[in-house]
A and B are shown apart, each in its own frame.
Chain A
Amino acid sequence: MKHVISVTVENKPGVLARISSMFARRGFNIHSLTVGPTEDPRLSRMTVVVDGPEMEQIVKQLYKLVHTVKVTELDPTETVEREIMLVRVNAEASRRGELLDAANLFSAKVVDVGASTVTFEVAGEPSALNDFLELMRTYGITSLVKSGRIAMAKDLKTTTKRSRLRTA
């Protein structure tokens, strides 16, 4: 089962190395990891998708790193998740129209056209990206790059429902 954790860290040199080294030496499996600046220049935020059952240990070991400020395991039902990918697909002239129709259904954007390929940019929910890939496989994918997932907890303050974010 995949879990999504949001890790707020101090924006210091080497912090990504510290996090990835900890995952490696403790034998935790990273599915994807993205990192970038936040609204506060002193902090960076990582979205880590992990595989496996050791969530409690992963959260605790993350907290043990001196530069980790906050770790939140995100509940998929109360989280906005996005991913972007670039996918290059075989597109012989005879099938190009059909291919572009299919891409349209997913709001995939054409970003490059070659002699016999088309490259799409697709952004959205990770599951939608996977659906698009399934469809594209029938044409033949020649190249694929994914950004890794970013995620943010929904702002539930406007509703009466209490936030059920599990924080360690």
Chain B
Amino acid sequence: MAETLTGAQALIRALEHAEVDVVFGVPGGAILPAYDPILDSPIRHVLARHEQGAGHMASGYAHATGKVGVCVATSGPGATNLITPLQDAYMDSVPVVAITGQVATRAIGMDAFQEAHTWGISMPCTKHNYLVTRVDELPDVIAEAFHLAATGRPGPVLVDIPKDILNATMTWHRPGEIDLPGYKPSVKGHPKQVKAAVEMIHRSQRPVLYAGGGIIKAEASEALRHFAEQANVPVVTTLMARGAIPDSHPLALGMPGMHGNYTAITAMQRSDLLITIGARFDDRVTGDVATFAPDAKVIHVDVDPAEIGKVREANVPIVGDARTVLEQLIETMSSLLDGAEPPEREPWFSQLAAWQEEHPLTYHQDPDGPIQQQYVIEQLHRLTRGDAIVVAGVGQHQMWASQFWGFERPRTWINSGGLGTMGYAVPAAIGAKVGMPDETVFAIDGDGCFQMTSQELITAAIDGIPVKIAVMNNTSLGMVRQWQKLFYGERYSAVDLTDHTPDYVKLAEAMGCVGLRAETPAEVVPTLEKALAINDRPVVVEFKCDPEAMVFPMIPAGGSNDHVVLGPEDLA
């Protein structure tokens, strides 16, 4: 029987049809009609305190679960507050659908109250976006939005819906077949190219598997590990790929790039073949492109053809889904090896081991000195046995978390890589915990980042989302301070955050969370234990950290990866 629904009801029905179980949002005038039928829907609504929070929650949810995260905002300021999370999700290829209210169709272009040109503003920071013009098209538009967000190279999609469309009525129909003549992502790699790649890998003396975030997105971790072992190739995992192969695996070299470890950076630099899968030669990985990996041939596997050849010419380009292509590589390698062992590459592996021996990641925790962030991260890893989802903001704490946390499985590391959005951790951790309620979700945040989005602690407390947040309080915008220390003659400009305001413990308590504090190294472990024992409320733990500590190794911006700076003495 034909059922008559309002646009708002059809929207919620279409979201249910897309198997949405939770949305993160903030209501307002233009989106108001959609907030009535949501009361009757099994979809959970998490009320964020700011639309930016709602957007990052959707992203954290998507990172942790692999499903599409959904955020909702009203027109005008609601929609513009979503722009940062949308660009963040765009840069990191996170599947997110944003639903925004818009002023009524007849008011569009009239500078109406809370009007913004959301479609135009969001165009460059989404994979695709829609302005709905007829109520009948709602079911199909929502279905398309989810299809686009989740398939091919994932990304954010925005659907802007004028208020009169939400109030209009329509005869409900299930979404039809997706009809997008211009959108046909390739999944399978070209067999000839796959064969060429396998032969090149087999011949290579100094190969490196350069694994990017695409491995995580494509659920290709298992295939990656299998192929690395089968072909006997070491693996570097970029900031977006941490956990793609267990850090404890003998072939895992850890993170390359600006703050990567010496061996990962130098292995790429001296490699004769970079087997690039789901990575994009980001400037944070390559440093100076002209001097990057000068002897390396490149195999480049990516689902997005535009990434291939964008920064570095590929000798063997392969367009396809990371897991599918890895499975093809495994099969082709099997027939090539035909039961034989892969090349031993003895000199190469000895060299890698020597570099690891010579230049490990190090820090020193003076028992009587200030707390080092690396120490907190290591102790947290030990106490949780690494069995937690770690969420970071952006800056020093993020780099240390990536360096010192041993990641053993995919989707346990959530951070803002491409855009570098400070304030990402608190809301993203909330989204991750909503998606994975049985996991321990621990945000490792900086004091600067924390102050940007800490209002979402209320969301966590009121909505019963027991995340844990470590605030690494080094009383400054640490990474900026590090650059001023190293490159601006210690002239500190606008980086001091003070060590007493806010009082993070009181702030946490005022927001309905538990507040804890560790001021000395001796207090770190007992305080972490306390935090880990509380599972019914969100916990904020402040660590009074060393403001002078700096992240190393480091490749200064624009510098060559030939010159890894291991400590301040290397810059003298």
Q: Which residues of A are in contact with B by a Cβ distance under 8 Å?
A: 9-10, 13-14, 17-18, 21-22, 25, 56-57, 60-61, 63-69
Contact = CB atoms under 8 A, between A and B. Distances in A.
B148 interface: yes
Contact of A68 (B123, B131, B182): B182
Contacts of B120: 17
Given A14-B119, A57-B310, A69-B181, A63 B305 contact: yes
6 contacts: A10-B181, A56-B309, A57-B306, A65-B182, A66-B128, A67-B182
Interface in B270-321: 304-306, 309-310
Contact of A66 (B124, B183, B309, B310): B183
A69 B123 CA distance: 18
B39 interface: no
User: Which of A22, A56, A64 has the largest count of B CB atoms less than 10 A from its CB?
Assistant: A64
Size bin of chain B's contact surface: 10 to 19
A66 B123 contact: no
B180 interface: yes
A66 B148 contact: yes
A46 to B, nearest CB: 13
Nearest to B123: A21
Nearest to A60: B306
B182 A69 contact: yes
A97 to B, nearest CB: 52
Given A18-B123, A21-B124, A66 B180 contact: yes
Contacts of B128: 66
Contact of A25 (B124, B183, B306): B124
Contacts of B123: 14, 17-18, 21
Given A17-B120, A17-B123, A64-B304, A10 B309 contact: no
A112 to B, nearest CB: 35
Nearest to A10: B182
Interface string B161-200: 0000000000000000000111100000000000000000
A60 B119 CA distance: 23
Contacts of B305: 60, 63-64
Given A13-B133, A57-B310, 18 more contacts: A9-B182, A10-B181, A10-B182, A17-B123, A18-B123, A22-B124, A60-B310, A61-B306, A63-B182, A63-B305, A63-B306, A64-B304, A64-B306, A66-B127, A66-B148, A66-B180, A66-B183, A69-B181
